[in-house]
Structure 1
């Protein structure tokens, strides 16, 4: 039988070639096997593992060596201080997306029943977080994938935000005649030929939630165009996008006549979220991309 400190050392060395956080990955996976917190590993480094635990641990290490993301192995990822269930049917939550939450919360009163919709909800992190942080808000969410909606509903139950209205819909296509104060989305925005798609965790995530036509801008254009018919006058549209897409996304917003268009940087100082305000106009039904 192997001691905790010994097996962690061996696992860290094995993972070093495939992970930038080899020691942390090894600890997380051993905690998963043992059903313990990481503090347990530090408190009992000399404890010997049972053979069945050792076998299961090395199987998980092999998965991580093959590139499988930690979040998919453990089935969980933290976002906005809450733990969310994730599967390969949904994107892995990332800290950058917390910027969408920060900006949305600044626009949402704490004591008024404003209406919010999250487009392409995936695991539900945006809709659920906003519903939890603003209990008076009426929150809806859409996703085209039934598998993703199943994950989102499970997370909504877990975090006691069962009042969220979920729609199977390609963006707003199946949301009829309803208007919102806030429309928020983290849509696919990576070009299909982008080299990043062959690197790291992103290799294992659903491509339909990552890639878009028109060099990554097709879904952003659809959302910006159709959101106008679902926003109250004075309402806001917020969209997460790539670090190098700021100017193109701002142009899309302006082409569709949004006001007060701004882009905000993420924790790394990269342009990450663009938002604008919609005021009703007679020409709202027209698309600047139509002849």
Structure 2
């Protein structure tokens, strides 16, 4: 079978299964199975292909397994990150956390940064690479997630100060972090999620009680943060700004920035703690 024929057939099956980008996914699956990149696949439509694992990869995608878990990689902020089912698939909207943090740090300098719930490490590792001089700690309650983050740090040659296995700050060494960043779990219900997310990604990293606000409340109530950091930047879900802002306000945090994506959807909120508010007033 010619490569173009396989891609056409696979794309039709993927479309019938409800996959959003069937042709693109078919091309990426073919590239992965053949050990090539997508540009090679596009430029060799007449190439004769044996199965080479193509059918097994296609079955996995037809079952709605995320493409990133099948290929073991996902691009984030222009870099390739290793991913597996122990971590969330990095998303484009999370890049706005990086953008806001870079602006806060003016692109670099001697900053201490804590990435809470680091998962694959995509936020903290990217900041370590993009902001020379900053010292980054990656924290997660999942040891398996920390292994993924460590693998990515090694592959991307990022200098990470510490990898900390802890549920929030219980086992975190006592030190001052000037900037805290987090993409916490904030999904309230699974009903509207696509099967790729609902059935495959780690639920501990997706779902939160209290209508999706539980982790925000834990962060806001944490005195370790409120007396040490200069700013906290969090990702939020669509339409969550009023509720998240209210939670942080209960504990004296002040919202200083809300960053939107290109669709004018608020993706990140930046808060400063009560002691910083007092110094500025």
TM range (shorter): over 0.9
Cα pair distance change 1:267/1:174, threshold 3 Å:
farther
Identify the residue that residue 219 of structure 2 maps to in structure 1: 223
What's the offset of the Cα at 1:260? Answer: 4.1
- Select between 259-268 and 30-39 the one with higher mean Cα deviation: 259-268
Identify the residue that residue 213 of structure 1 maps to in structure 2: 209
Secondary structure, in 3 states, of the residue corresponding to 1:280? helix
Identify the residue that residue 129 of structure 1 maps to in structure 2: 126
What's the offset of the Cα at 1:111? Answer: 5.0
Cα pair distance change 1:263/1:34, threshold 3 Å:
same
Distance 2:235 2:84 in 1: 21
Alignment of 1:35-114 (within 5 A): 35-49=35-49, 51-53=50-52, 56-114=53-111
RMSD: 1.8
Identify the residue that residue 287 of structure 1 maps to in structure 2: none
Cα pair distance change 1:75/1:234, threshold 3 Å:
closer
Alignment of 1:1-40 (within 5 A): 2-17=1-16, 18-40=18-40
Identify the residue that residue 253 of structure 2 maps to in structure 1: 258
Cα pair distance change 1:23/1:111, threshold 3 Å:
closer
Give unmatched runs, 5+ long, in structure 2: none
What's the offset of the Cα at 1:52? Answer: 4.3
Distance 1:70 1:234 in 2: 37
Cα pair distance change 1:249/1:71, threshold 3 Å:
same
Secondary structure, in 3 states, of the residue corresponding to 1:174? coil
What's the offset of the Cα at 1:13? Answer: 0.6
Deviations 1:86-108 (A, max 9, x none): 00000000000011000000011
Deviations 1:200-237 (A, max 9, x none): 434210000001111111111101221x4236667001
TM-score (norm 1): 0.90
Alignment of 1:152-191 (within 5 A): 152-191=149-188
Secondary structure, in 3 states, of the residue corresponding to 1:141? strand
Identify the residue that residue 275 of structure 1 maps to in structure 2: 270
TM-score (norm 2): 0.93
